[in-house]
Amino acid sequence: METKTITLKQIAEQIDHHQTSGTDMDKVTIQSPELSVKDAYEIQQLWEQCAIKRGDQKIGWKMGLTSVAKQRSVGVNEPIYGRLTNSMEVTSNTLSLKGLIHPRVEPEIAFVMKEELKGEQLTARDVWKATEFIMPAVEVIDSRYKNFSFTLIDVVADNASSSRFFLSDQAFSPFQSSLDKLEVIMYRNGEKVQSGFGSAVLGHPVKSVIELAKMLHQVGLSIQPGMVILTGGITEAVNVFDGDELKVTFDSFGEINFDVKKEKED
Ligand code: OOG
Ligand code: MG
């Protein structure tokens, strides 16, 4: 038992090294084919401890693979969750490629909670009651695995490919319009590259929050007040490169714009 714990911690440290150095790695299931999904989530939790030791802070959760478009594009057919930390949030209008491997971007809806959300059988009403506001978001995912290729266990161990994220400047009340009807369009260098509706996320993004609470409850965890939740890509993710200009429109919820720049030589 002891040996296994050490091993999972060592895997978490390996993953942390590749996440912070921006270098790719072989899938963890190649060196450790015996890993279970439960082990992979434990690796995530151990990775979170590495991040906190580095001075990072936990600020939320992300759901992934909550839409058919996303599941199909990576060949994994069930929702997963990951952990968001302070250093992942980009607050300027520039995505620096420093420390990234092969980033892709995807439009999402973020929830910000005001109350704890805990339980296995929550309703949409429970989620709305605990929600402070919602925000348009763009997640930047960056698998640490070679060729962005992985199994369910690998991607869970790699913190669900979490890398960076943008939130809009404006927060919105979730009560005035239907998030499932929200149309999102993503443009890269002026060209429309993806579009979709909020309903792509498990029928309605609120369902993603319910699912997250349920998955966390199974391991004795809950969503704490103040946490940000990314509910999952509405469309397929698109690759971004140095010099790209991204614009993502979220109907009446405005837009998120940013440029992609490679690291500055110094
Ligand atoms: C896994 C992460 C998926 C989403 O929103 O579906 C995700 C991946 O595609 O690398 O973040
Ligand atoms: Mg995502």
Question: What would the pLDDT profile of 190-237 be if each residue is shown by its tens digit?
Answer: 999 999 999 999 999 999 999 999 999 999 999 999 999 999 999 999
CATH number for the domain harbouring residue 183: 3.90.850.10
Note the pLDDT of residue 176.
86
The confidence score (pLDDT) of residue 264 equals 59
Q: pLDDT-based confidence at 263, cuts 50/70/90? A: confident
Give the closest residue (by CA) to ligand 1 atom 10. 161
The residue whose CA is least distant from atom 8 of ligand 1 is: 161
235 in a domain, yes or no?
Answer: yes
Cβ pair 250, 168 in contact under 8 A:
yes
Q: What is the pLDDT of residue 2?
A: 44
**Going by CA atoms, what residue is nearest to atom 7 of ligand 1?**
64
Residue 139 pLDDT: 98
Task: Indicate whether 48 belongs to any domain.
Answer: yes
Mean pLDDT of 14-37: 96
30: Cβ–Cβ under 8 A, 6 or more apart, which residues?
none
Q: Check whether 96 has a pLDDT greater than 60.
A: yes
Distance CA(97)–CA(136), nearest Å, equals 22
Residue 3 has pLDDT above 50, yes or no: no
27 domain-assigned = yes
Domain that holds residue 254: 2-261
Percentage of the chain lying above the pLDDT 90 cut: 94
CA–centroid distance, 2 to ligand 2, in Å, is 34
Probe target for ligand 1 pocket from 161, 202, 228, 239, with the most ligand atoms within 8 Å of CB: 161
- Ligand 1 centroid – CA 4 distance (Å): 28
CA dist., res. 147 & res. 164, Å (int)? 19
Average pLDDT, the chain: 95
Residue 135 has pLDDT above 90, yes or no: yes
In angstroms, the first-to-last Cα distance of the chain is 47
Q: For residue 187, with 0-12 CB atoms within 10 Å meaning exposed, 13-18 middle and 19 or more buried, which class applies? A: middle
- Quote the pTM value: 0.96
Collapse the DSSP code of 130 into the 3-class scheme (helix H, G, I; strand E, B; otherwise coil) and give the result: helix
Tokens linked to 133: 């506001």
| Pocket mutation for ligand 1, best pick of 76, 102, 106, 230 (most atoms within 8 Å of C-beta) | 106
Is 42 contained in some domain?
Answer: yes
Ligand 1: residues with CB < 6 A are 62, 64-66, 70, 74, 106, 139, 141, 143, 155, 160-161, 232-233
Q: Which residues contact 164 (CB under 8 A, 6 or more apart)?
A: 88, 89, 90, 95, 100, 103, 139, 140, 142
Q: Helix %, strand %, coil % for the chain, to 5?
A: 35, 30, 35
Domain membership flag for residue 100: yes
CA distance 189 to 68: 26
Q: How many domains does the chain have?
A: 1
pLDDT tens digits, residue range 146-161? Answer: 999 999 999 999 999 9
pLDDT value for 7: 87
Give the pLDDT confidence score for residue 1 in this predicted structure. 45
Residue 266 lies in a domain: no
Determine the distance separating the centroid of ligand 2 and the alpha carbon of 3, expressed in angstroms. 33
Atom of ligand 1 nearest to the CA of 155: 1
17-37 mean pLDDT = 96
145 alpha carbon, closest ligand:
1
Task: Give SS3 for 263.
Answer: coil
Mean pLDDT of 89-111: 98
